[in-house]
């Protein structure tokens, strides 16, 4: 069982924005910046108080700043596709959660992760993060990773490059405003990357991340099926896709309560994918 890093939470988040995905070479001098207040500028459109439940859920594809300023983004190499597994030795698994933060289910997930002393990676929707900046801070403060899942959950490979840049860029800007550092990871809604979107992702200093274990929990198939999908699909280097937002995620929360101790009993170590 591995506890989240003892490194200060905001430093950990800032460092992940400055390193390549799965590289193992940690940053020696972590990027840092002051945390801004909750009043971040809206994204591509005026941010609603809260998006309608399940309004954007579709079946995923299987696949030198002045003092006080935030650190600049460092571009990374353009990838040909998103990483689907961890390039780490041993029985390592990364738990990822999409579509939050959600005022009901994200705190429940955080409580489970705290109980089992394991980290998670939260791919947040910009409009949800704008509505709930306190939850974004809570995620980071507890040692978990905050990552980019676009502003409004569109299918990126159907958009113009300009719109992709707004979807990803505005979300990164908001995360930076809230936490003092931009995210270093991004996940396309539905896993739908194309060359242009991957290029924008790299220019914004983010590595694209997919998954190798899909729980299909977005469809609420039942707690037992979600649990079985993780336990049956678990493997060294697995990246597990679950959701803490986008609708009723009570089945996911219950399933995670069953899955986490069993994975740990099987000798898996839950890690952050950086």
| Catalytic entry in 194, 243, 244, 265 | 243
The b/e string for 145-159 (b: 16+ C-beta within 10 A; e otherwise) is bbbbbbbbbbbbbeb
Token pair, residue 155, equals: 């299918």
Rounded to 5 degrees, φ, ψ at 207 are -95, 140
| Catalytic entry in 98, 177, 214, 217 | 98
Rounded to 5 degrees, φ, ψ at 258 are -90, -35
Distances (CA, A) of 83 to 87, 160, 208, 211: 9, 23, 7, 7
Q: Does residue 98 have an active-site annotation?
A: yes
* Dist. CA 161–CA 144, nearest whole Å: 30
Listing DSSP states for 83-151 in one string gives B-S---SSSEEEEEEEEE--TTHHHHHHHHHHHHT---EEEE-HHHHHH-HHHHHHHHHTTPEEEE--S
- Let me know: does 257 contact 108? Beta carbons within 8 Å: no
Question: Can you say how many angstroms the Cα of residue 228 is from the centroid of all Cα atoms in its chain?
Answer: 23
Question: Where would I find the beta strands (DSSP E) of the chain?
Answer: 92-100, 121-124, 145-148, 185-186, 207-208, 213-214, 238-243, 269-270
Q: Does residue 243 have an active-site annotation?
A: yes
* Dist. CA 37–CA 17, nearest whole Å: 20
Is residue 21 classed exposed, middle or buried when 0-12, 13-18 and 19+ CB atoms within 10 A define those classes? buried
Q: Please give the positions annotated as active site.
A: 98, 243
């Amino acid at each position: 069982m591995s506890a989240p890093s003892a490194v200060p939470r905001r430093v950990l988040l800032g460092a992940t924005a400055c390193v390549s995905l799965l590289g193992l070479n940690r940053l020696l001098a972590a990027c840092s910046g002051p945390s801004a207040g909750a009043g971040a500028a809206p994204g591509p459109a005026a941010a609603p108080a809260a998006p309608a439940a399940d309004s954007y859920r579709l079946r995923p594809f299987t696949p030198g700043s002045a003092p006080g300023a935030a650190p600049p983004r460092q571009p990374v190499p353009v990838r040909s596709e998103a990483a689907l597994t961890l390039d780490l030795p041993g029985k390592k698994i990364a738990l990822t959660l999409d579509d939050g933060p959600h005022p009901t289910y994200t705190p429940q997930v955080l409580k489970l992760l705290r109980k089992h002393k394991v980290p998670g990676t939260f791919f947040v929707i910009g409009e949800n993060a704008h509505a709930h900046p306190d939850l974004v801070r809570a995620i980071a403060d507890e040692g978990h990773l905050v990552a980019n899942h676009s502003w409004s959950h569109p299918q990126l490979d159907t958009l113009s490059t300009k719109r992709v840049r707004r979807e990803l860029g505005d979300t990164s800007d908001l995360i930076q405003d809230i936490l003092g550092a931009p995210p270093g990871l991004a996940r396309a809604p539905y896993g739908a990357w194309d060359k242009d979107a991957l290029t924008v992702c790299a220019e914004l200093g983010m590595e694209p991340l997919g998954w190798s274990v899909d729980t299909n929990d977005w469809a609420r198939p039942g707690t037992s099926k979600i649990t079985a999908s993780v336990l049956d699909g678990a493997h060294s280097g697995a990246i597990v896709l679950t959701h803490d937002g986008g609708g009723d995620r009570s089945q996911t929360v219950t399933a995670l309560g069953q899955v986490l101790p069993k994975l740990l009993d099987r000798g898996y170590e839950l890690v952050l994918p950086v």
